[in-house]
Amino acid sequence: MFILLRPGCAPEDRARILRAVEEAGLAVQVSEGHHRIVIGVVGEEDLLRGVALETFPGVESVIRLRPPYRLAARETHAEDSIVSVGRTRIGGGNLAVIAGPCAVEEEEQFLASALAVKAAGANLLRGGAYKPRTSPYDFRGLGEPGLAILRSVSRAVGLPVVTEAMDTRHLDRVAEHADMLQIGTRNMQNYALLEAAGRARLPVLLKRGRACTVSEWLCAAEYLLDAGNPSVVLCERGLVSFDPAVRNHLDLSCVPLVKRLSHLPIVVDPSHGTGRRDLVSAMARAAVAAGADGVMLEVHPRPEQALSDAQQAILPEELEALVPELRAIQEILRRNPVGIV
């Protein structure tokens, strides 16, 4: 940590700052320049957590060197984490292809989707029983009956399933029927839900808040890890955009950035990330090229009949064409790892 003093900081103010740091058990190194004085703090900066140094007279600014998350940080865990969901492994050079419809609509639709995505090469099934919708009059999911369909279809086709838990009240029920819990973009900063999911014994897919920084996202992951759940996968799904041409602005630069900052696997959802079926495959390829550990894709056998997010669902045939391309791109990266991280 560095404490930058204001020009002309009074000697008694400077002495008070030094005393506060030393009383917390840390050493100081004072550098006096021509115009400014910088105090270098040597030691565990967490010891100063309760000391609001910014409020001390004479302090211009405080530069903290440690990120506000710990367990999620690459510096505390150098190796890439690998998260297992059933027999599917996410991270460590495995390509996760998470696919399925936006929502579980009824058994026949979900079974047809599941069989189609499995045949196309998906290794994880998706589908929402509880759907967060902007308008309360839109289809909000089947709820509990949807969970039962999820479970029976997942068993029938032999793919583990990820589904969203929107609320602490439903979390246990969702956890009984799912292999992986999804925390959606709107709930990334719902700390009660994060704590509950952190206590669950299931891996968690944590979507990035639609207007959240990478640091806030990693702090949200920290809640899960801190509550005792080591199995966290991050999912970039697009940020609010000023341009109505796309539903969201997919931030692919966050992929190599997250790889640098964290050991957690990261997947990308270009379906919500663009909101347009014609852009999904290109952005999925770009995501894997950027170093993502997988993709999450909305696939529907009859998009024109989908009850939610019809405009961004790709067809099973498109997934089938895409999966070998993604594998080929990942293979290129495996052979040329320089420059990814």
Interface residues with Mn ion (CB under 5 A)?
102, 309
For the bound state, the minimum distance from the C-beta of residue 54 to ligand PEP, rounded and expressed in Å, comes to 35
For ligand PEP, the closer CB: 9 or 110: 110
**What does 207 bind: Mn ion, ligand PEP, none (CB cut-off 5 to 8 Å by kind)?**
ligand PEP
For ligand PEP, the closer CB: 41 or 193: 193
For the bound state, the minimum distance from the C-beta of residue 237 to ligand PEP, rounded and expressed in Å, comes to 4
Q: Reduced to 3 states, what is the DSSP secondary structure of residue 56? A: coil
C-alpha 54/C-alpha 63 separation (Å) is: 10
Q: Does 184 bind ligand PEP (CB under 6 A)?
A: yes
Q: Which of residues 194-213 bind ligand PEP (CB under 6 A)?
A: 207
For the bound state, the minimum distance from the C-beta of residue 336 to ligand PEP, rounded and expressed in Å, comes to 31
Number of residues that bind ligand PEP (CB under 6 A): 8
CB burial class (10 A; 0-12, 13-18, 19+) of residue 155?
Answer: exposed
Among 24, 102, 178, 295, binds ligand PEP (CB under 6 A): 102
C-alpha 166/C-alpha 185 separation (Å) is: 10
C-alpha 316/C-alpha 279 separation (Å) is: 15
**What does 121 bind: ligand PEP, Mn ion, none (CB cut-off 5 to 8 Å by kind)?**
none
For Mn ion, the closer CB: 263 or 272: 272
The closest of 311, 313, 294, 281 to 124, measured between CA atoms, is: 294
For Mn ion, the closer CB: 187 or 330: 187
For the bound state, the minimum distance from the C-beta of residue 102 to Mn ion, rounded and expressed in Å, comes to 3
- Would you say 188 and 204 are in contact if contact means Cβ atoms under 8 Å apart? no
Q: What is the 3-state secondary structure (H, E, C) of 164-193?
A: ECCCHHHHHHHHHHCCEEEECHHHCCCHHH
For ligand PEP, the closer CB: 14 or 272: 272
Q: Which of residues 224-283 bind ligand PEP (CB under 6 A)?
A: 237, 272
User: Could you write out the DSSP letters of every residue in 212-281?
Assistant: --HHHHHHHHHHHHHTT---EEEEE--B--S-TTSSSB--TTHHHHHHHHB-S-EEE-HHHHH--HHHHH
Q: Does 146 bind ligand PEP (CB under 6 A)?
A: no
Q: How are beta strands 161-164 and 180-183 bridged, if at all?
A: parallel
- Residue with the CB atom nearest Mn ion in the bound state: 102
Residue 38, strand partner residues: 4, 31
For ligand PEP, the closer CB: 207 or 300: 207
C-alpha 195/C-alpha 207 separation (Å) is: 15
For Mn ion, the closer CB: 222 or 309: 309
For the bound state, the minimum distance from the C-beta of residue 102 to ligand PEP, rounded and expressed in Å, comes to 5
CB burial class (10 A; 0-12, 13-18, 19+) of residue 182?
Answer: buried
Among 128, 160, 203, 301, binds ligand PEP (CB under 6 A): 128
The residue ranges that bind ligand PEP (CB under 6 A) are 102, 128, 132, 184-185, 207, 237, 272
